[in-house]
Structure 1
Amino acid sequence: MKYLSYEGLQYLYSKILTRLGLKVDVNGGDISETVIENLDTVEDKYPIPTAGESVKQFLGKTLTFLRYIKPLTSNITLYVSANTGSDTTGDGSQLNPFKTIQHAIDIIPKDLGTRECIIYVADGTYSEDVTIAGFTNGVVRLYSNHITAISTLCKVNKILVTQCMSYVFIVGFDILTVNSAGIDSYNNKALIVQYCNIVGNAPNNSGIYAAESDFQVYNCIVSNHMNALRAYKSVGTSAYWGNTSGNTNSLYSASGSIIKTMGIQPQGTRIADTGGSVFFENGTQIADLIVSGLSCTWANISGRYYRIGNLNGGIAQVVVNIAISLTATLSAHTQYSINGFPTATASTAVTAHAQNQFDYVQLYGSGIYLSPAYDLPAGNVYLLSCTYITNS
């Protein structure tokens, strides 16, 4: 059974009438064998007459097409079963389900209007890369039988959601892929992911990746990934995660993304880079500002500092963790500086991993100032850390 929105069916009906009207015998005679010639090119997806086709053939084709059209005047419910379904003889009903998730998705009209489609996926292993793409209205819900708790009984390779203006829900799946993100989102109005389990050994990939999308992630588990959740030019919520482990990064917010956190978050380091931010429940935010804003003529700098609180001015906490690799010999009892930090409200002591090699290491104003206790040769590496308050 195929589905077409009511508006689409009206459009189809008017096109058929127009084409038939052009070919009716002006004398009112029998047109059943009239040959239709020299027609304009029309959309292939509609049963429009083709040159050389008899009216009888065309009407037969149209009748067959219309028999398989169901106007979308209500919500759609479809069922999928890897074990008992068939994409050939199945009709998507509970008693006669489809075999693959993708087949069920592909028969849904792209414009659902104000309606929604729910696809219930039975337990089983679905060795397919599912794509949900191009839906312009309504709601698409992809549900396993486990929509209130994490389960590993409904397995799928991976899921891609792209170019959707519909609300898209993905709930209750065990994602198997290790070669890409488990759930990929590109340019979507609203993606909601709940109770999904993404625990494959994928140290170079994200469990969930959102690019230019609005998203909400609730009650999921992502383990053994580079990032549990990564956002690029996106806005969304990360909430109430399960027991995750083995991730390098917990949340990675990049390129102006905003991630709001609620409750337990995945294991790993939280990073906000290139204008991204992560908001805590109390409204403060954390940003990972790479050392590109720092200046130093006598050492290479690696690491970063975090600003917790207001990003664009106002009171915030700054946490500094940097490594300096000397590119020149530092002379004893001579002051050197690293500049470019947010201005401190008060002078702050800086911890160095070899503290006895310095007369002092201090942060005041917008710089870290240090004086070696004796000559320090090029090539030495020192770790510097401190926490302070800024109001700039």
Structure 2
Amino acid sequence: MKPMSAAQTRNSLLTALHAADSPLDSRDVVALSGSHAVRLTESNSSAVLSKPTLIAERVGKVATQVAFPGSYWSKVSATPVKAAFVLPTRFTAFTTQGGQPVNFNIVLAVLDALHYDAGTGRFMGRLAMALVNSANRDDNSALTHEVPVLLAAEAADITPVPLLFTVLNAPQEVHLSVLSPTDPYAVHAMTALNHGPDSIVMPIRRPDIEVRPVSSLIRGLGLEETTVVIRIAETQGRKGQEVALQTTRGSIAPSPVALDESGTGVAKLRSAGIGSAQITATDSPFHDGHGKVEFAWPVAFALATLLGGIVGALLRKDARRHPLGSILIGILAATVVCVAHAVGVNTQAWGTPSGGAGEGLFFFVAAVAGFSGREVMSKFVIRG
């Protein structure tokens, strides 16, 4: 094909530019003039466009999601594309075949959302980028101008950078690696003709933190504790990952809890007061985990303690001479000892493990305390 003259080149580009209804001076149109980007106006357009050049025009404010055939990205992805976005800058350039200039856009496709990789401890993702003829997606013409595109994202390692395009419809794959992405996570694309970057939001698949209390209902008022299992399945093999724990009621320890090789850690929740305890587990790269434990009135504990104290007091030798006094002392001693036992104070006076639960056990401890009366208090004083 015979090369176009300077006048033909200028006229072709001017025709393409003036196809829009708005005057050139009211639009955001930039062209390469030598190695510089120049904003086109009615007064300078003829001179700037006298040679084949690359033109960019801002035609929107945000990227637009579009549908592409599943086979379009098959060169870079064996799996279906999650989403594709047309960036709001339209480019105009000549192809090496000559003829009329073509309009094309930069299209970014999400091949794989950011997801946690246990091997590296980072979030990995994949994108694809292509220059697409807005009138004919199958156009694979070679361009007279190379189009370099720079990708950037907060705290990300991106390869390759920059991307260099000389052909339409030739997708290139991009890899992202981020330690701890924040929501929403934007990926920016920019060329020499952009005043500012065009952006898309990269989806993030965050692993969930599992919070699993062994018991969902325990005695309130500090009289019981339960084990809370913390697990992040995706962190298997990364021993030492720490998760911070908080509770709206009671106390939980340790915090932070370190996970083992299986991605599991264990903490203890001690009750306080009566009501619901909302447990929250946080580790910035992951979705927060939540659990709930109810702190109930210790009715069974109180009855077992009361009955045990009375029975123990009635078994004393002096119970017949001072029945009411013995019972009162027995109940008071049983209450002190059973509460101490429940919160973990161990006197080893009766051979039962401190903190053990169950109404039968509390009845036994209360009966021993009721029988011992004042003498049982010496166990705490001596060991204190």
Q: TM-score, normalised by structure 1?
A: 0.25
Highest RCO, 1 vs 2 (Cα 8 Å, sep ≥ 6): 2
Q: TM-score, normalised by structure 2?
A: 0.25
Greater strand share, 1 or 2? Answer: 1
Q: Greater CA radius of gyration, 1 or 2?
A: 2
Greater helix share, 1 or 2? Answer: 2
